[in-house]
Structure 1
C-alpha cells in the first residue's frame, strides 16, 4: 500500500480529462451545427469544404450577375419595342405621303410628324440606361457604316456587297414600256422603217394595221383603191415621224421631227426625249433616268458620304447600274460581358452586343417625304423597312440572350443546390448522431467523476495502520 502514487486516481483523472475533452467538442458541434469547427477536426474535410464554399458563393453571385444581365437586356428590348412602334407609324406616314392625292401642304404636315418621330427615336436611344450605362446609344468612338442601296421600285435585280451595289435590268428595245420614278415611258423608233421592223411587218404581212388610231387592212396587192386597205409600200404615205403604229397587239411610236431635230440620226448611246412627248424616249435615256432614281433611292440615310452616281454598263446581255454605297458615321457597338461562373474561365463569359439605335444608325436621319411628286416618300418606305429590319434583328438577338441567361440561371442555381448538399455532408453536424455521442460522454463524465472520488478515498486506509 503506497501513498505517494495513487495510480487509481491518476488513471481515473486521465480518463475523465479525455471524456471532458470529447464532451467539449461534442457540445461545440451541437452548439455551432458544424462538424468541422477548426482544421484539427478534419483537415482534409476542411480543405474540401472550403473549395466547395468558394464555388457556392461564386456561383451564387454568378446567378445574380445573370439576373442583372436579364434585367439590362429586358430594359433595352423594352425600349426597342417602342422604337418599333414609331417606325411602323413612320412607314404608315410614308405610304400616305406616297399617294398622289396629297398636296404639298399635306406632305408638309406628314413631314412634321416624321421629324418628331425621328427626334423621339434619338431621345430614346440617348436616354435608355441601366445602372447608368447607356444601352442604345452605342459606346465611345465612332465608325463608318455603308448604307444599303434600294432599287427605287425598278424592275430588275439588286445585288450588293459591303462596298458596291449593282442593279441589273433587261435591255430595252423599241416599243418597250418601262416605269421609272412612277412615270411610264416608251422607247420610240427613229423612223417608220424601224417601227415596222420592230412590229415584224413586211411585204408578206397581212392583218389589221392601226396608224394614228385609224385601222387599215394590209393587202399584198401592188395597188389598192380601197381606203380601208393598204399595201406595205404605201404605209409611209399614211405614217411618219410622230405616228403611232399598232400591229398584232403591240404599239410603236416614231419620234417626231423638226427643223433642228432629226431622229434618224440618233445614235444608240444618245439620251433623247421626243420634242412633243416627254414620255417617248430612247433606251439610253431610260437607263439614265433609272440610274438617277437608283442613286436617289440609295442615298437615303447616307448622312456622311452620298452614294456615287450609278454607272451604266450596256456591254453585256443585260444593263447594269453600279454605284458605290453611301456612308453614315455612327457610334461603336456597346459590348459588355456577363460573368456567369465561379472560375476565371473565359467560357463563363456571355457577350452582349447592342448596336447604336439612333436615327443615323437606323438609316432614317433626315428622312424626307415632302417633295412635290411623292417619289421621295415612296423611296422612304424602303429605308424605313431597312430600319425595322435592323431593330427586329437587334431585338431578336436580345431575346436569344435573355433565353440563354434564363437557362444559365437555372443551371447555376441547380449546381449551387447540389454543391451545398455535398458541403453539408462534409461540414454540418449530424445532430442525432452527435446527441448520442454527447449522451455517452455525459454518462462517462459522471462515471469518471465518481471513480475519481472513490480512488481518492482508497488511501485513507493507511491511517488505520498508523493508528
Structure 2
C-alpha cells in the first residue's frame, strides 16, 4: 500500500475535470443559444457561418436600397403624372381654341391659362427632388458630349483618317430606364457615302422629244390603243412590294402620281420623277441610303396589241428592264466605357438603336434588324444629300449620371440596377412655342401634334419607370427569399439544438455528481494505512 501517490484519486479527478469541461460547454451553448461561440468550437464551421452572416447582413441593406429606389421612382412618376395631366389640358385648350365659335377674348383666356400651365411644367421639372437630387432635369439621363477628354482613346486612334467630332450627330437620344453599365460611350461612323450614293434606277424607254407632263403615254411612249403596263417595285431589304398599272390614256403627270401613290402606300422609300429637260425617262431613287433600301423595278405587259412592251416605259425585250438599284452599308463602331469596341454594320443610314434592359449587346435599327449596341436609345441620321464622303465622324453619349442602386450583397454590375430618367422640360418636349391665341395658330398647333408627341414622351418615361419599379419589387422578393434561406442554413450550422444540449447537460450533471462522490471514496482509501501504524 502506498500513500505518496493516490492513483485512484488522480484517475477519478481527471475524469471529473473532463466532465466539468463538457458541463461548461453545455452551459455556454444553452446560455448563448449557439453551438459555435469561439473559433475553437468549430474552426471551419465558424468561417462558413461568418461568410453567411455577411451575406445576410448585405441582403438586408440591399433590401433597404431597393426600397429607397422604389421611393425615388414613385416620386418621379408622381411628378410625371401631373405633367401628363397638364399636357392633356393643353391639348384640350388647343382643340377649344381651334373651334370656329370662339371669340378673340375666349382665345386670349385659353392662351393665358396655357401660359401658366407651361410655366408649371418647367417648374415641376426643376423642383422635383429626392434627397436634394433633381430627378427630371436630365441629369439622370443621357446627353451628347463633344468633350474630347471623355472620349474613348481607342476611338480617337481607330482607323484612318482621324475622325471629326460632330456636335449634332445624335438625335432622339433617350435613356431606357435601366442601363447595364453607366459611363461614356463613343460612337464612330466611317463611310465612303457621297451625295450620289442613293439606290437609283431609270426607265429603259425615253419619251419622244418635245412632250410635256400633260402628254399621254400613248403619245410620249407610242403605247397602242388599249395597251397597259404593270410595273412592280420590290425593296428586298424591307420585303415591301408595290405594283401600279399604267394606261395608254394616262398623262405623264398622272402616271407619275399613280406610281408615287403606290410607292407611298406600300411604304417603299423610293421617289419617282420625270425630267422633260433630260432624256425623257422616268427615274426612281431611294430616299435613304443603305443596302436596306436597294430595290428592283420589273415591268410586264398586262394587255394590249404589243405583248412585248416594245412601246412603253419599259421594254421587255431589253435586259435592263429588270433594274436593280444598290446602295451602300454604313460602318459604325461603338466604344464602351472600358474601351471595348463593338463593330456594327448598318444597312440604313438612319440608324436607330434601342436598348433592351439588362443587355447592352442587343438593339434594333429602324427596320428591326438586330444590331449590337450600347444600352441607350439614339438615332444617327446621315442622309443629307449634300454629304460628300468619305465620312469619319465621332460623337459620344454620356450616361454617367444615371443612378445606380446597390440591390445585391456583393460587388459587380450584376448586383446593381441603374435607373435613368430623361429631361421633361418644355425644350426637351419641343413645346417652348405654344400659340393658340388665334384660330389659325390653334389649328396649326393641333395639326403639328406637338402635344400628342409630349404625351407620348411622358407615357414612355412613365412606362419605363414602371418597368424599373416592377423589377425592383421582384428584386426585393428575391432578396427576402434568399435571405431567409441563407439564414436557415446559417442557423443549422451555428445555432445550438436546445433539446440535444439539455440532454447532454443532464448527463454531464449526473457524471459530475458521480465523479465527485467517487473522488471522495478514492481519498478515503489511503486512510486504511493508519491501521497498520496503530
Give the TM-score normalised by the residue count of structure 1.
0.60
Mapped contact 2:97–2:438 kept (Cα < 8 A) = no
Shift of 1:458: 1.0
Mapped contact 1:332–1:356 kept (Cα < 8 A) = no
Shift of 1:82: 0.8
What is the CA deviation profile of residues 227-283 of structure 1, one whole-angstrom value per residue up to 9, with x for unaligned ones? xxxxxxxxxxxxxxxxxxxxxxxxxxxxxxxxxxxxxxxxx9xxxxxxxxxxxxxxx
User: Are the structure 2 counterparts of residues 425 and 58 from structure 1 closer, same or farther at C-alpha, using a change threshold of 3 Å?
Assistant: same
Secondary structure, in 3 states, of the residue corresponding to 1:136?
A: coil
Unpaired runs of 5+ residues, structure 2, are 145-167, 174-211, 217-252, 254-272, 276-282, 288-382, 386-397
What is the CA deviation profile of residues 11-52 of structure 1, one whole-angstrom value per residue up to 9, with x for unaligned ones? 111111111111001100000000000010011110111111
Q: Aligned residue for 2:110?
A: 110
Q: Is structure 2 residue 448 aligned with structure 1 residue 373?
A: no
Alignment of 1:309-388 (within 5 A): 335-371=402-438, 373-374=440-441, 377-379=444-446, 382-388=449-455
Shift of 1:128: 1.2
Mapped contact 2:435–2:442 kept (Cα < 8 A) = no
What is the CA deviation profile of residues 327-357 of structure 1, one whole-angstrom value per residue up to 9, with x for unaligned ones? xxxx989511111111112111111010011
* Rounded Cα–Cα distance in structure 2 between residues aligned with 1:463 and 1:386: 115
What is the CA deviation profile of residues 360-384 of structure 1, one whole-angstrom value per residue up to 9, with x for unaligned ones? 1111113222246335643575111
Mapped contact 2:98–2:439 kept (Cα < 8 A) = no
Q: Aligned residue for 1:67?
A: 67
Q: Is structure 2 residue 46 aligned with structure 1 residue 42?
A: no
Deviates more, 1:57-66 or 1:94-103: 94-103
Alignment of 1:247-258 (within 5 A): none
For the pair shown, which has the larger CA radius of gyration, 1 or 2?
1
Secondary structure, in 3 states, of the residue corresponding to 2:419?
A: strand
Give the TM-score normalised by the residue count of structure 2.
0.52
Mapped contact 2:402–2:420 kept (Cα < 8 A) = yes
Q: Aligned residue for 2:28?
A: 28
Q: Aligned residue for 1:226?
A: none
User: Are the structure 2 counterparts of residues 372 and 314 from structure 1 closer, same or farther at C-alpha, using a change threshold of 3 Å?
Assistant: farther
Alignment of 1:274-293 (within 5 A): none
Q: Is structure 2 residue 83 aligned with structure 1 residue 83?
A: yes
Deviates more, 1:96-105 or 1:134-143: 134-143
Q: Is structure 2 residue 490 aligned with structure 1 residue 423?
A: yes
Deviates more, 1:98-107 or 1:432-441: 98-107
* Rounded Cα–Cα distance in structure 2 between residues aligned with 1:350 and 1:84: 26
* Rounded Cα–Cα distance in structure 2 between residues aligned with 1:400 and 1:314: 51
User: Are the structure 2 counterparts of residues 146 and 106 from structure 1 closer, same or farther at C-alpha, using a change threshold of 3 Å?
Assistant: farther
* Rounded Cα–Cα distance in structure 2 between residues aligned with 1:444 and 1:142: 78
Shift of 1:317: 7.1
Q: Aligned residue for 1:136?
A: 136
* Rounded Cα–Cα distance in structure 2 between residues aligned with 1:110 and 1:131: 37
More helix by share: 1
Shift of 1:428: 0.2
User: Are the structure 2 counterparts of residues 109 and 142 from structure 1 closer, same or farther at C-alpha, using a change threshold of 3 Å?
Assistant: farther
Alignment of 1:182-261 (within 5 A): none
User: Are the structure 2 counterparts of residues 59 and 314 from structure 1 closer, same or farther at C-alpha, using a change threshold of 3 Å?
Assistant: farther
Secondary structure, in 3 states, of the residue corresponding to 2:433?
A: coil
Secondary structure, in 3 states, of the residue corresponding to 1:338?
A: strand
Q: Aligned residue for 1:10?
A: 10
Mapped contact 1:367–1:380 kept (Cα < 8 A) = no
Mapped contact 1:94–1:380 kept (Cα < 8 A) = no
Deviates more, 1:64-73 or 1:364-373: 364-373
Mapped contact 1:333–1:353 kept (Cα < 8 A) = no
Q: Aligned residue for 2:532?
A: 465
Shift of 1:323: 9.2
Secondary structure, in 3 states, of the residue corresponding to 2:420?
A: strand
User: Are the structure 2 counterparts of residues 147 and 97 from structure 1 closer, same or farther at C-alpha, using a change threshold of 3 Å?
Assistant: farther
Shift of 1:60: 1.4
* Rounded Cα–Cα distance in structure 2 between residues aligned with 1:95 and 1:396: 27
* Rounded Cα–Cα distance in structure 2 between residues aligned with 1:9 and 1:421: 47
Q: Is structure 2 residue 504 aligned with structure 1 residue 437?
A: yes
* Rounded Cα–Cα distance in structure 2 between residues aligned with 1:130 and 1:15: 68
Q: Aligned residue for 1:392?
A: 459
Mapped contact 1:337–1:351 kept (Cα < 8 A) = yes
Mapped contact 1:137–1:358 kept (Cα < 8 A) = yes
Q: Aligned residue for 2:94?
A: 94
Mapped contact 1:333–1:354 kept (Cα < 8 A) = no
Deviates more, 1:395-404 or 1:336-345: 336-345
Unpaired runs of 5+ residues, structure 1, are 149-193, 199-267, 269-312, 325-330
* Rounded Cα–Cα distance in structure 2 between residues aligned with 1:16 and 1:352: 66
Secondary structure, in 3 states, of the residue corresponding to 1:374?
A: helix
How large is the RMSD of aligned CA atoms in angstroms?
Answer: 3.4
Mapped contact 1:125–1:357 kept (Cα < 8 A) = yes
User: Are the structure 2 counterparts of residues 27 and 147 from structure 1 closer, same or farther at C-alpha, using a change threshold of 3 Å?
Assistant: closer
State the number of aligned residues: 306
Secondary structure, in 3 states, of the residue corresponding to 2:403?
A: strand
Mapped contact 2:435–2:441 kept (Cα < 8 A) = no
